[in-house]
Amino acid sequence: MKTAEEIKTSVREKYSQIALQTKEENAGSCCGIDSNCGVDYTIFSEDYTELEGYSADADLSLGCGLPTEFAQIKSGDTVLDLGSGAGNDCFVARAIAGETGKVLGLDFTEMMITKARENAEKLGFNNVEFRQGDIENMPIGGNTIDVVVSNCVLNLVPNKRKAFLETMRVLKPGGHFSVSDVVLKGELPEGLKNDAEMYAGCVSGAIQRSDYINIIRETGFDAIAIQKERPVILPDEILKNYLSDQEIQQYKGGEFGIYSVTVYGKKPSNCAPGSVCC
SS3 at position 224: strand
pLDDT on residue 197: 46
Q: Give burial (CB, 10 Å; 0-12/13-18/19+) of 201.
A: buried
- Domain 4-266: which CATH class? alpha beta
Using alpha carbons only, what angle is made at residue 177 by residues 257 and 155, rounded to the nearest 5 degrees? Answer: 35
pLDDT band for position 43 (50/70/90)?
low
> For residue range 98-120, what is the model confidence (pLDDT) as tens digits?
999 999 999 988 999 999 999 99
- Judge whether residue 263 has pLDDT over 70: yes
Least reliable range by pLDDT among 41-55, 83-97, 204-218, 246-260: 41-55
Q: Mean pLDDT throughout 251-265? A: 88
d(CA 14, CA 240): 25
- Judge whether residue 195 has pLDDT over 70: no
